[in-house]
Amino acid sequence: MKTYLIGSLTLLVALMSSNGAWPSQAAARDDLPYTFFFTHYELLGDPNYPEGVRYHSNGQPFAEAPDGSRITLSGKGGWDPYSQTARGGGRYTIKDASGEVSSRGSWRVTGFSSFEQLEGWWGMGPGFKEEGWQGPPGSPSFSGFLKVKVHLENEGDGLLTAWCLMPAVSKPDNHKGDGISLTGDEFDFTDFSENEMSLEGVMFYSIDPASHGYVLTSDGHAVRKSASDSPMSSATASSIATASPLPSSGGTPLVSVPSLVATLALVGSGAAIVVLLRRDPS
């Protein structure tokens, strides 16, 4: 009986190994260290003077093409800067200039292209609360630009660029806030101006202990986290060639309260806070 059991276990191990069922080091990292979520931002309290924000993973960022068509995406994914791999996906909808649906289906990530990390966070002061943190407890979040290769069902391949630009981030190239673009042989969705002024956006998180960023405290406030002194720190720096890591010390500039009041008085609408929150701090 013992000989039979040993032989059976040996055969089982061989079968699992040949079929890839036995977890290799790569397969064990199903939870990619860096993740992105298409996020809907819900402002808490008075929309003119919000006391906080809640993150929802049902965000639907969008972009338009020169012919007036619009693509809207939902979903999430992740990437590994060490192996330069990425996975993820969700749903897409394309509407023509008249608003009629011309195509819809699933989309998936097919490869990693690049990621650039930027400094800065909400900058709304120490009392500003954040709820619905989408990353694991203790995981840092950060702003930046992510580029991944994607495939859209019934439509083809393209390059998806997704970015998170919090209010206290210095905005490159006249950006105003979060957004997406999709380019390629069949895609030219590069007008993201309307989305950047909306509450549809992108959030990035990491479970890599070497990651810089902002972590959520137990009382719901985001504070700066510096990179750990782990051996992975140098690997992270060399693997993300385009990264601009956050400094490990120093504060985040606050959004000017006088600017907030002036903007709200000028526009006279609750939507004005969206404009201010996605604008460079004065």
In tens, the pLDDT along 125-168 reads 989 999 999 999 999 999 999 999 999 999 999 999 999 999 99
pTM of the model: 0.74
Domain of 76 in residue numbering reads as 31-277
Give the pLDDT score at 48. 84
Spatial distance between the Cα atoms of 95 and 101, rounded to a whole number of angstroms: 4
Q: Is residue 133 part of a domain?
A: yes
Q: Is residue 13 domain-resident?
A: no
Residue 130 in domain: yes
Residue 14 placed within a domain: no
> What is the model's pLDDT at position 228?
53
- Report d(CA 124, CA 53) in Å as an integer: 11
| Number of structural domains found in the chain | 1
The verdict on residue 24 lying in a domain is: no
Average pLDDT of the chain to the nearest whole number? 78
With beta carbons less than 8 A apart as the criterion, state whether 73 and 158 touch: no
Predicted local distance difference test score (pLDDT) of residue 26: 33
Instruction: With respect to residue 15, please indicate whether it lies within any of the assigned structural domains.
Output: no
Six token digits for residue 166: 């919090």
Low-confidence spans in the chain with pLDDT less than 50 = 1-29, 229-282
58 inside domain: yes
Residue 17, domain member (yes or no): no
